[in-house]
């Protein structure tokens, strides 16, 4: 697939160019222009972006470190495709890190951040329709990012930023069942679980915030994995 309607990356310095190229390719991956498992050919990317192969090669190495791309020996680079085990591991990491962040955020979160958190919670409630799934996921992402950023723990924030670089857009896009729809019967549950998180943070109750975040992420993970395993079983029986 080509990067259509994409102007050449602006040429500044040799040091900056790989970063600019990486950003263009990253946006294309997260935006769904490249499907999971698609091979990223250096010459094609270089032609599309109007650069040489060298900055493309460096950009792909950077994206591999971020977990968006994987290198296959003697074959090249391709967009990462998630397995069920990957999903399980991703959520295990999120549960461990985001529950800690929620506890810490309860101690540090400001009044203005709580106002914004409440606004994002309401926006999610206002964007429940299937055709609004993209907006809903954007608000959901900002909701979670605001919470772990409020922890004020820089290493924790950097680690979670890296996890969220591929989530949720890439993860949901990996599976047909979640590419353009929410998980079955989760809309109301998500709202209740998000509300519990907001209430705990508003009360500056670290234990309650930790529990509410753990309950939410564990519930989503269980529902997602159950659906994917059932789908996998149905396909194997056909």
Q: How far apart, in whole angstroms, are the C-alpha atoms of residue 201 and residue 208? A: 8
Judgement on whether residues 93 and 196 belong to the same structural domain of the protein: yes
**Residue 11: what pLDDT?**
43
Query: Angle, to 10 degrees, between the axis of helix 154-164 and the axis of helix 84-108?
Result: 140
* Domain of residue 90, CATH code: 1.20.120.530
Is residue 100 a part of any domain in this protein? yes
Strand ranges for the chain from DSSP E? 39-40, 69-72, 76-79
For residues 117 and 228, state if they share a domain.
yes
pLDDT at 133: 79
Instruction: Answer yes or no: do 68 and 126 share one domain.
Output: no
Using CA atoms, how far residue 196 sits from 93, 175, 212, 213, 222, in Å, is: 21, 29, 6, 8, 19
The CATH number assigned to the domain holding 75 equals: 1.10.10.10
CB 79, CB 29: distance < 8 Å? yes
The answer to whether the pTM exceeds 0.75 is: no
Are residues 219 and 166 located together in one domain of the fold? Answer: yes
Nearest to 143 by CA among 203, 79, 212: 212
Distance between CA 222 and CA 217 in Å, rounded? 9
214 and 191 in one domain? yes
pLDDT at 175: 60
Given 61, 79, 97, which residue is the final one in a domain? 79
Same domain, 211 and 177: yes
At 55 the three-state DSSP class reads helix
Strands of the 39-40 sheet, one edge to the other? 39-40, 76-79, 69-72
What is the structure's pLDDT at 49?
93
Count: domains in the chain: 2
The SS3 of residue 76 is strand
Residue 52 neighbours by CB under 8 Å, 6+ apart: 46
Tell whether 10 is covered by a domain: no
CA gap 82, 52 in Å, rounded: 30
User: Reduced to 3 states, what is the DSSP secondary structure of residue 79?
Assistant: strand
pLDDT, one tens digit for every residue, the chain (238 residues):
445 444 444 445 566 899 999 989 988 887 678 888 899 999 999 999 999 999 999 999 988 887 788 888 889 999 887 788 988 998 999 999 999 999 999 999 999 999 999 999 999 999 988 788 778 888 999 999 999 999 999 999 999 998 887 666 666 665 655 655 566 677 789 999 999 999 999 999 999 999 999 999 999 999 888 888 887 776 666 6
- Examine the domain organization and report whether 59 and 156 are in the same domain: no
DSSP 2: -
> Omega of the bond prior to 168 within 30 degrees of 0, cis?
yes
Residues 147 and 213 in one domain: yes
Residues 168 and 187 in one domain: yes
In a domain, 153, yes or no: yes
Same domain flag for 95 and 118: yes
Asked if residue 181 and residue 69 are part of one domain, the reply reads: no
Does residue 2 lie in a domain region? no
Q: Please report whether residue 3 resides in a domain.
A: no
Domain that holds residue 128: 84-237
79, 105, 132 — which closes off a domain?
A: 79
Of 79, 98, 124, the position where a domain reaches its end is 79
Q: What is the pLDDT of residue 139?
A: 93
Q: Is residue 11 part of a domain?
A: no
Same-domain pairing of 31 and 132 = no
Q: What angle do CA 162, 176, 136 make, to 5 degrees?
A: 60
Residue 157 lies in a domain: yes
33 occurs within a structural domain: yes
Pairing of strands 39-40, 69-72: unpaired
């Amino acid at each position: 697939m080509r990067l259509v309607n994409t102007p050449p990356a602006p040429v500044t310095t040799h040091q900056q160019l790989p970063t600019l190229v990486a950003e263009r390719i990253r946006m294309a991956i997260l935006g769904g222009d490249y499907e999971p498992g698609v091979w990223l050919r250096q010459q094609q990317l270089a032609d599309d972006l109007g650069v040489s192969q060298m900055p493309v090669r460096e950009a792909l190495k950077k994206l591999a470190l971020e977990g968006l791309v994987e290198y296959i020996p003697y074959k090249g680079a391709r967009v990462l495709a998630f397995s069920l085990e990957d999903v399980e591991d991703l959520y295990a990491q999120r549960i461990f890190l985001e529950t800690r962040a929620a506890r810490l955020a309860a101690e540090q979160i400001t009044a203005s951040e709580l106002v914004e958190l409440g606004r994002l919670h309401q926006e999610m409630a206002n964007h429940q329709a299937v055709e609004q799934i993209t907006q809903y996921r954007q608000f959901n992402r900002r909701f979670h990012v605001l919470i772990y950023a409020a922890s004020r723990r820089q290493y924790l924030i950097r680690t979670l930023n890296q996890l969220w670089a591929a989530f949720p857009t890439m993860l949901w896009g990996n599976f047909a069942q979640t590419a353009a729809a929410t998980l079955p019967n989760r809309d109301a549950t998500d709202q209740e679980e998000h509300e519990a998180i907001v209430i705990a943070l508003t009360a500056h109750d670290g234990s309650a915030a930790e529990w509410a975040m753990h309950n939410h992420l564990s519930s989503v993970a269980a529902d997602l994995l159950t659906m994917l395993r059932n789908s996998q079983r149905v396909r194997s029986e056909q």
